[in-house]
């Protein structure tokens, strides 16, 4: 399946979904005016991806989002729901959230998301 | 190097229009000038070359041939005459007859007949025999013309010739009466030292001068036969006969011509006193010491060149005109791309001007629309501000307070609300989803709902208020169908200040900060918002109770302050930093604290734009 790459902009994160490696990465701030418009292709790709991927393949999802506005966080939640579904269906999904140790907002955010879904959800701090 | 000529009517874009481009004309003009100069130079040059060649030819050949021709004719005539005279002189019969004194009649008759015949048939004017013995002068009709005597001056020639000891000599006799010149060829008969007579023939030079006429070149050319002394003996112009050469040509030239004993021709060029140049050639007549002189004014020889001159000029003009046309035609082809480029430039300018005009119009339109929209929003700001509590209301509720209310885009989704119900006060700070106009619409709804639901029954139960709010809001705004994408709600914190200095708090994703004597206390509230689809209709929020102390200052904020980005790493301000602010800036004066909040945020923002609506409420409760 084709790799999904969306370049980072001021208000949107970089999307890099590599189907072959099973590595899905979202890095950057997210506050577009219309979050649904931005995340629609991302969610679509995810649906397709889960259809074609074999079971037993490890899927790692990496997050690094210093700021997410309200509408974006809704979309992220939708995304996490899809991951949760796939995980329940037998695929192995691991979520790693990397946050800058000075950004407590991001930590809070990540913790909220973790509470929201039932997944292997690792929150890892790094020093920049 | 385009020369722009100003067009009186400038077009809207401000550019003056190029009327015509004259550098192409300049090029053509220069080229024509060069061509004309070149051709003129060529014509003049070739003309002068031809002219000098003609003159050269004239001087070196033509004159020579002319003179040669004439002189050889004359020569021939004279030689023939000499031969005849010599023959006569050598005739033994004539000798005998003269020696005998002309006694022999038979001989005499035949001799007389001979000389008559000679004259008649051999183209001489005279044939004569003059005897030195008798002195008889016999002429060609057989008559005795004269008897010569020393006394007669007319006969001097005879005696001179007799003594000359020259077998043959020439004698020119100019007859004034007849205006005629005779050349006598005298041949001595007998012994040179003691001749017995003279015989010979006489030629009329007029016939030669007739010949001269045929050589006349032009009007003013002259041919002369002159003797050693310069007397003109033959001329095609009879009036010149007998005159001196120096009457017709300058003295020095005459001298030069006559001076030397020449063997061959010389060519002289001189300037007449009237300024004209004359070419002159002189040729000695071989058999005599006479000279043949041919003189012609330069202008006559160069006349032939005049026709060339005329033709050259006409040709030159024709060529110039032709080449002008050709060149103009070619340069058009060359200048054409250039002209086309110029034209293209003009057209492009026109197009640019049009587009600019269009753009300007569109811009004005957009500006107009934008102004209208902004105006509308500015007006709606008034409406939004109208639902916020007035200063009086806030004064009546709080001992001291400050409010920072900063919508991001004129109007926003944040609001704050107070209401006195019986003996309680209900205070709310809310953050509706979105900002700008959509957020503001939400605040209008939230405000109405709060006004509606907060009454005596629940004024001391903020959790219940939130529950009710949630139910009503979901019914109003959010339909079950999530595919439409409308999932709006709000984060809100509600304080109830009741009798006995009791504060009851319930928060939907909003915290209450209490700064007391013993530091900062945070009541977090529930982590569910109000109104969202994923929040159950019957969700139960939680009440927290707090006993108010004298020094307590309460703070409520929406997430705008905390999530504002800035600083070194462009992160959000953060809850931690916010709490630090609350702890550290206990200034006792809430107005001053407001300033601190504002300044701190501004400094942190460091030029970054405001990210979300900001609301911070700080208050002290009345005793």
Please give the structure tokens belonging to residue B65: 């041939």
Q: Please give the average per-residue pLDDT across B410-419, as a whole number.
A: 95
Give residue B249's pLDDT. Answer: 78
Give residue B216's pLDDT. Answer: 66
Please give the structure tokens belonging to residue B332: 């058009």
* CB contact B524 to A (< 8 Å): no
| Domains identified in chain A, total number | 1
- Which residue in B561, B446, B465 sits closest to B504, CA to CA? B465
Q: What is the DSSP letter of B239?
A: G
Residue B109 and residue B97 in contact, taking contact as beta carbons nearer than 8 Å: no
* CB contact B287 to A (< 8 Å): no
B600: left (phi over 0), alpha (psi -120 to 50) or beta: alpha
Same fold, B1-7+21-301 and B388-479+486-621: no
Instruction: Print burial letters for B372-390: b (CB count within 10 Å at least 16), e (below 16).
Output: eeeeebeebbeebeebbbe
Q: Which domain holds residue A38?
A: 4-126
**One-letter-per-residue 3-state SS of B39-71:** HHHHHHHHHHHHHHHHHHHHHHHHHHHHHHHHH
Cβ within 8 Å of B, A 56-85: 66-67, 69-71, 74
Give residue B267's pLDDT. Answer: 75
Which residue in B has a C-alpha nearest to residue A107's C-alpha?
A: B574
**CATH number of domain containing A48:** 3.30.750
Residues of A in contact with B434 (CB under 8 A): 70-71
Q: Please give the average per-residue pLDDT across B554-559, as a whole number.
A: 95
Interface ipTM: 0.81
Give residue B236's pLDDT. Answer: 72
List pLDDT tens digits, range A51-94.
887 777 789 999 999 999 888 998 999 999 999 999 988 888 99
Helix (H, G, I), strand (E, B) or coil at B321: helix
Give residue B333's pLDDT. Answer: 76
- Which residue in B450, B615, B474, B467 sits closest to B543, CA to CA? B467
Give residue B16's pLDDT. Answer: 40
Cα distance from B433 to chain A (closest Cα, Å)? 7
Share of chain B above pLDDT 70, in %: 89
Judge whether residue B540 has pLDDT over 50.
yes
Please give the structure tokens belonging to residue B354: 């049009």
Cβ distance A104 to B569 less than 8 Å, yes or no, reads no
Q: Across the strands, what pairs with B394?
A: none
Q: Please give the average per-residue pLDDT across B18-27, as a whole number.
A: 64
Please give the structure tokens belonging to residue B500: 């006995």
* CB contact A101 to B (< 8 Å): no
* Alpha-carbon distance values, A18 to A2, A26, B447 (Å): 8, 11, 48
Residues of A in contact with B575 (CB under 8 A): 104-105, 108
Highest mean pLDDT among B23-32, B255-264, B390-399: B390-399
CA B594 – CA B401 distance, rounded (Å): 9
List pLDDT tens digits, range B266-280.
777 777 777 788 888
Judge whether residue B13 has pLDDT over 50.
no
Q: Which of the four pLDDT bands, split at 50, 70 and 90, describes residue A12?
A: very high
Highest mean pLDDT among A21-25, B17-21, B230-234, B263-267: A21-25
Secondary structure (DSSP) of B147-167 = E--TT-GGGHHHHHHHTT--S
- Which residue in B487, B557, B553 sits closest to B518, CA to CA? B553
Judge whether residue A102 has pLDDT over 80.
yes
* Alpha-carbon distance values, B126 to A54, B183, B452 (Å): 156, 10, 173
Of B562, B563, B569, the CB nearest to A102: B569
CA A53 – CA A4 distance, rounded (Å): 15
- Which residue in B446, B442, B440 sits closest to B379, CA to CA? B440
Between helix A104-116 and helix A70-88 the angle, nearest 10°, is 40
Q: Which fold has domain B388-479+486-621?
A: Phosphatase 2c; domain 1 (3.60.40)
Instruction: Print burial letters for B486-511: b (CB count within 10 Å at least 16), e (below 16).
Output: ebbbbbbbbbbbbeeeebbbbbbbbb
B209: left (phi over 0), alpha (psi -120 to 50) or beta: alpha
Judge whether residue B360 has pLDDT over 90.
yes
Cα distance from A31 to chain B (closest Cα, Å)? 9
Cα distance from A2 to chain B (closest Cα, Å)? 27
Q: Please give the average per-residue pLDDT across A91-113, as a whole number.
A: 91
Give residue B545's pLDDT. Answer: 95
Q: What is the CATH number of domain B1-7+21-301?
A: 3.30.450.20
List pLDDT tens digits, range B289-341.
778 888 888 777 667 777 777 888 888 888 888 887 887 787 777 767 777 88
Cβ distance A74 to B487 less than 8 Å, yes or no, reads yes
List pLDDT tens digits, range B134-155.
888 888 787 787 887 888 887 8
Residues of B in contact with A67 (CB under 8 A): 563, 565, 571-572, 611
Residue keyed to tokens 């979105």? B434
Q: Tell me whether strands B277-284 and B126-131 are parallel, antiparallel or unpaired.
A: unpaired
Give residue B138's pLDDT. Answer: 86
CA B203 – CA B241 distance, rounded (Å): 16
Q: Please give the average per-residue pLDDT across A35-50, as a whole number.
A: 92
Listed by start position, the domains of chain B span: 1-7+21-301, 304-380, 388-479+486-621
Which residue in A has a C-alpha nearest to residue B570's C-alpha?
A: A66
* Alpha-carbon distance values, B363 to B12, B78, B358, B368, B376 (Å): 16, 118, 8, 8, 19
Q: What is the DSSP letter of B246?
A: G
The secondary element (H helix, E strand) that includes residue B590 is: helix B590-605
Instruction: Print burial letters for B229-263: b (CB count within 10 Å at least 16), e (below 16).
Output: ebbbbbbbbeebbebebeebbbeebbebbbeeeee
Question: Which residues does B263 contact at the CB level (< 8 Å), separation at least 6?
Answer: B284
Q: What is the DSSP letter of B231?
A: B
CA B35 – CA B38 distance, rounded (Å): 5
Higher-confidence position of B101 and A7? A7
* Alpha-carbon distance values, B344 to B337, B365, B512, B520 (Å): 10, 31, 72, 76
Q: Is the pTM of this model over 0.80?
A: no
């Amino acid at each position: 399946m084709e790799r999904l790459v969306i370049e980072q902009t001021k208000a949107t994160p970089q999307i890099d979904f590599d189907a072959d490696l099973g590595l899905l990465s979202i890095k950057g701030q997210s506050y577009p005016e219309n979050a649904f418009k931005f995340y629609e292709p991302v969610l679509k790709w995810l649906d397709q991806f889960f259809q074609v991927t074999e079971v037993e393949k490890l899927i790692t999802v990496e997050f690094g989002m210093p700021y997410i506005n309200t509408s974006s966080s809704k979309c992220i939640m939708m995304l996490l729901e899809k991951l949760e579904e796939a995980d329940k269906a037998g695929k192995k999904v691991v979520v790693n959230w990397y946050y800058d140790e000075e950004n407590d907002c991001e930590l809070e955010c990540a913790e909220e998301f973790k509470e929201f879904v039932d997944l292997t959800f690792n929150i890892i701090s790094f020093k920049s | 190097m385009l020369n722009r000529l100003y067009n009186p009517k400038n077009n809207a874009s401000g550019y003056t229009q190029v009327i015509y481009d004259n550098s192409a004309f300049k090029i053509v003009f220069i080229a024509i000038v060069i061509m004309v100069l070149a051709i003129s130079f060529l014509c003049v040059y070739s003309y002068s070359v031809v002219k000098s060649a003609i003159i050269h030819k004239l001087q070196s050949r033509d004159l020579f041939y002319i003179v040669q021709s004439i002189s050889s004719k004359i020569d021939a005539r004279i030689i023939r005459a000499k031969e005849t005279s010599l023959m006569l002189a050598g005739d033994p019969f004539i000798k005998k007859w003269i020696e005998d004194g002309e006694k022999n009649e038979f001989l005499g008759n035949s001799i007389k007949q001979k000389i008559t015949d000679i004259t008649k048939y051999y183209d001489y004017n005279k044939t004569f025999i003059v005897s030195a013995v008798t002195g008889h002068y016999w002429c060609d009709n057989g008559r005795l013309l004269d008897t010569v005597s020393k006394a007669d001056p007319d006969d001097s020639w005879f005696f001179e010739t007799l003594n000359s000891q020259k077998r043959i000599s020439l004698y020119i006799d100019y007859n004034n009466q007849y205006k005629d010149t005779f050349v006598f060829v005298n041949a001595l008969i007998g012994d040179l030292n003691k001749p017995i007579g003279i015989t010979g023939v006489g030629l009329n030079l007029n016939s030669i001068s007739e010949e001269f006429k045929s050589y006349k070149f032009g009007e003013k050319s002259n041919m002369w036969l002159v003797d050693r002394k310069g007397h003109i003996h033959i001329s095609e112009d009879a009036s010149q006969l007998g005159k001196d050469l120096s009457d017709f040509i300058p003295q020095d030239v005459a001298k030069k011509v006559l001076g030397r004993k020449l063997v061959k021709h010389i060519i002289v060029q001189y300037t007449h006193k009237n300024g004209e140049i004359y070419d002159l050639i002189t040729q000695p007549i071989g058999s005599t010491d006479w000279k043949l002189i041919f003189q012609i004014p330069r202008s006559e020889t160069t006349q032939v060149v005049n026709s060339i001159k005329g033709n050259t000029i006409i040709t030159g003009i024709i060529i110039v005109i032709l080449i002008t046309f050709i060149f103009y035609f070619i340069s058009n082809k060359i200048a054409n791309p250039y002209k086309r480029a110029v034209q293209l430039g003009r057209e492009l300018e026109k197009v640019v001007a049009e587009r600019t005009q269009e753009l300007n119009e569109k811009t004005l339109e957009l500006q107009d629309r934008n102004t209208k929209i902004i105006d509308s929003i500015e007006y709606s700001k008034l409406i939004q501000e109208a639902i916020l509590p007035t200063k009086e209301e806030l004064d009546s509720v709080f001992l001291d307070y400050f409010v920072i209310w900063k919508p991001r885009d004129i109007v926003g989704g944040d609001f704050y609300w107070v209401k006195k119900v019986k003996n309680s006060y209900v205070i709310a700070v809310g953050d509706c989803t979105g900002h700008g106009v959509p957020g503001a619409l939400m605040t209008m709804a939230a405000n109405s709902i709060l006004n509606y639901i907060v009454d005596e029954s629940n004024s001391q139960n903020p959790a219940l208020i939130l529950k009710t709010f949630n139910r009503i809001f979901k019914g109003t705004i959010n339909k079950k169908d999530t595919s439409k994408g409308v999932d709006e709600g709000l984060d809100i914190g509600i304080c109830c200040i009741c009798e006995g200095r009791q504060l009851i708090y319930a928060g939907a994703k909003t915290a209450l900060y209490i700064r007391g004597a013993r530091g900062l206390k945070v009541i977090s509230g529930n982590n569910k918002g109000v109104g969202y689809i994923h929040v159950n209709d019957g969700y139960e929020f939680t009440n927290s109770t707090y006993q108010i102390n004298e020094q307590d200052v309460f703070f409520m904020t929406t997430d705008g302050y905390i999530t504002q980005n800035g600083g070194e790493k462009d992160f959000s301000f953060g809850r931690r930093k916010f709490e630090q602010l609350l702890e550290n800036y206990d200034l006792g004066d809430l107005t001053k604290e407001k300033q601190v909040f504002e300044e701190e945020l501004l400094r942190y923002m460091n030029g970054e734009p405001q990210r979300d609506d900001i609301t911070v409420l700080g208050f002290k409760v009345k005793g």
